[in-house]
Amino acid sequence: MKTLELLPPNDTMYRALVDRDSSFEGIFFAGVRTTGIFCRPTCSAKKPARENVEFFPSPNEALLGGYRPCLRCQPMDPERSAPELIQRLRTEVEKAPDGRLTDKELTSLAIDPSTARRQFKRYYGMTFQAYHRARRMGLALREVRRGESVEEARHGSGFESESGFRDAFTKIFGQSPTSAKEQGGLFAERIETPLGTMLAIADDAGLRLLEFVDRRTLERELSILRTRLKTNVVPGEHRHLSLTRKQLGDYFSGKNLEFTVPLAPVGSPFQLRDWKLLQRIPLGETRSYSWMAEQLGDKEMRRAVGRANGENMLCIIIPCHRVIRADGTLCGYGGGLWRKKWLLEHERKYVRAQEDSNLRPSD
């Protein structure tokens, strides 16, 4: 029996298939009735007509549906890496993150500049040149915060003019390089998960945001962070991002579903109280909006609780997916009800496994 409730809407999946949207890697597999083959969302093969496609949540389900794996995209392979061109471009950036790659240089690398811009923007939501520029400025910020002089940071970021560097730095981070020594900036990293690509953002205070990149409110949340923290977001490395990536890997693999990464949510006093209460809901369990409202002091505040839960920027780690209706039915999840159901079942399965392990007699 196909667990269709774990899948996004069919129209969403077909659009992702046509667009070869890499953010849907691992979320669904497409079976093509006319060929008897099933593929990844990003398969480069010619796309079938909508009526000739059916969708499955796993390769095993597709196999049971009578389909064989595609030899081109190899959907049985568990690795889900970025497209080859994206990997090449990132590699070129890291060879000289403090420099620039012009269209002429891309052409000399046998990379078509227009294709690079188009694919990079589709995958990252920003142009390749914007990524490279943000990477350079992120490195400059890191050097400034480590105590390097502004002049040394300028040289390291490839700027010839001191005024040009200061202007670019201030435009991106909302503060001068000197001020940034104390305040710092926000660093971002994309993290691939079985439920789709997530964006993580952190600074020295802790993890500020963890969201699925297809969530419609993501741009508004980024704007809130920029405004309230008076800085900008750049791609880069940070110890809290590394820990988040590792702990998400452990979570989805079932190795360990507990998170210890420091959190620094940005919100109103009521939102912060609401989110703190969410963290008290035990793994593998659920609570109702009424229960939350009562715990917060007024059982009539269910709507306010719902809004605060929906404004939570730390998906999974602050577990708003563990809140359901009083009658036990699922409702209201920004990442989609199919993800909410998956997360709840995943956590319950983990808790049952832990309980069975504790009950098993030792040798």
Handedness of CA 345, 347, 348, 350 (dihedral sign): positive
320 is annotated as an active-site residue: yes
CB atoms within 10 A of CB 92: 19
Half-sphere exposure (Cβ direction) of 202: Cα atoms closer than 13 Å:
21
Give the Cα separation of 202 and 179 in Å (integer): 19
Task: Give the separation between CA 116 and CA 111, rounded to whole angstroms.
Answer: 7
Please identify which residue in the block is written with the tokens 């000739």. Answer: 52
192 and 302 in contact (C-beta within 8 Å)?
no
Instruction: Provide the Cα torsion 225, 226, 231, 233; round to 10°.
Output: 80
Catalytic residue among 73, 315, 320, 331: 320
Q: What does the block give as tokens for 159?
A: 């700027």
Three-state DSSP class for residue 60: helix
C-alpha distances (whole Å) from 328 to each of 107, 215, 275, 279, 346 are 58, 25, 21, 20, 17
Any idea what DSSP says for residue 257? -
- Whole-angstrom distance, CA of residue 243 vs CA of residue 178: 29
* One-character DSSP codes across 112-150: -HHHHHHHHHHHHSS-HHHHHHHHHHHHHHHHHHTT--H
- What residues are annotated to the active site? 320
